[in-house]
Amino acid sequence: MNTPLKISFQAQTETGQLLTHGVFESEHGVCAIDPELGLAVLARGPAQTSASTLKSTEILQDDMQTNLPLSDAAECMAESLANIHEYLLNTSEFEAGKGIALIALQVHLDSLHIGSAGPFECLHVHAGHCTQLPCNSSPGNYLGGQGAGQWTPTQRQLSSGDMLLAIGSDDFAAIGDDFMHLTLERFCDNPEVALRQINTRLSRRGHQRKPTVLFASIGNARKQNRSWLGGWIAG
């Protein structure tokens, strides 16, 4: 990962399992984190499409690994989403208005690139202020979906101390816009507490499962950063 910033990813799956690297696959979707590449992906598809969902994340990871050193990160991600779409059109059949929903966070140099297809939300906390980024694609614009359009990645400059969160639009709506913004602003330096607040909120609203959430914490690569698991990450 060619960046002056240190990025630490952590995802929570619907079972409550925490993931900092590697791949987690379930019937509800896939989470993949590659810290060295600076890439994290959440993907989900209709029932019985777990193989297609997993393959989508693999294509994205392979494309970014191969092409990112040679071309612009936004262009790289847009090409990869198009590649996934073409692959799915040739290998999978989805009902009308269905397909693979995916959000990818790629940190390259000092920028974040967000590629999104389907209903996801991404929030960026900078200097204690939470902003909702324009990543939610139009309804029905799923990868592999019939009539789906192009996907243009969103770019955002990053600084040490920033925090990012990606979450499905359904969970975001259930938790509440105001609550989410306030929680992230209040606990932007402590993602573990922010996650606990989010879990409690959803549980009190009658949800049995945990929300699938992806956090990214941005630090200075020249310093040591305390990891969420209590250890130290050398910069």
3-state secondary structure of 123: strand
**What are 120-163's pLDDT values in tens digits?**
999 999 999 999 998 755 656 899 987 666 788 889 999 999 99
Could you give the CA distance from residue 160 to residue 107 in angstroms, rounded to a whole number? 13
Rounded to 5 degrees, what angle do the CA atoms 61, 164, 214 make?
55
Tell me the domains of the chain and their CATH numbers.
Answer: 5-224 (3.60.40.10)
Checking if the pLDDT of 8 tops 80, the result is: yes
**What are 65-121's pLDDT values in tens digits?**
999 887 889 999 999 999 999 999 999 888 877 899 999 999 988 899 999 998 999
Closest to 44 in 3D by CA, of 217, 167, 128: 167
